[in-house]
Amino acid sequence: MNFCPNCGSKLYEKTINDSLVKSCNTCEYIDWNNWVYVSCVIAAFTDDNEVLLVRLKGKEQGKLTFPGGYRDLGETLDQAAHREFYEETGMVVHNLELYKTFTKDEQRLIWIVYKGKVQKSEFVENKEVFEAIYIRNIKDIDCNDLRGKLTKALLIDLLS
């Protein structure tokens, strides 16, 4: 960022505690250059202990991952989780509980992972997702289909 979000003055580079930061000479605002995107991710389980994954459309066509997405400003993390789950599956997740977090600095990304309960019901196809599948064992799928490292790490964590 080049201008102060507080007062609009130009920001200047400065070293504080060995970190290169940008600071405002007018109001002393400091940009620590540590911002991250927050994504809410839902591990939704059926009563039979299967977990729901979504198969993506678009530029990651065919890849499997957990439903989830970025929190919008003004939303609570719980609200973002419920909204994203509904948008990507057409289904409602219940009993959301904060489970754990994952950090991926190379994408400036933090995953806030919730566990929840889902009843198998009609999946509603949408612009992001082609299908929802339920798996009990990681052997049920081809791991090359998983979207990325975090998806795989979380799946192994949940099913082992």
Q: Cα(39)–Cα(97) distance, rounded to whole angstroms?
A: 15
Query: x/- site string to Zn ion, residues 11 to 50, per CB under 5 A?
Result: -------------x-xx-x---------------------
Strands (E), 6-159: 11-16, 19-24, 30-31, 37-45, 51-56, 64-65, 68-70, 94-104, 109-117, 129-135
Q: Choose the stretch contacting Zn ion; rule: CB under 5 A; options: 1-9, 37-45, 107-115, 125-133.
A: 1-9
Residue 7 or 38 having the CB closest to Zn ion: 7
Q: Does 123 contact Zn ion by CB under 5 A?
A: no
* Residue 88 main-chain phi, psi, to 5 deg: -90, -15
Residue 4 or 42 having the CB closest to Zn ion: 4
Q: Choose the stretch contacting Zn ion; rule: CB under 5 A; options: 5-13, 62-70, 79-87, 123-131.
A: 5-13
List residues bridging with 103 in a β-sheet: 110
Q: Does 1 contact Zn ion by CB under 5 A?
A: no
Task: Please identify which residue in the block is written with the tokens 């995107």.
Answer: 37
Dihedral, CA atoms, 112, 107, 154, 50, nearest 10 degrees?
A: 80
Q: Does 129 contact Zn ion by CB under 5 A?
A: no
Q: Cα(9)–Cα(30) distance, rounded to whole angstroms?
A: 12
Counting residues that bind Zn ion (by CB under 5 A) gives: 8
Q: How far is the CB of 33 from Zn ion (least distance, A)?
A: 16
Per CB under 5 A, the list member of 6, 19, 95, 121 interacting with Zn ion is 6
The footprint of Zn ion (CB under 5 A) covers: 4, 6-7, 9, 24, 26-27, 29
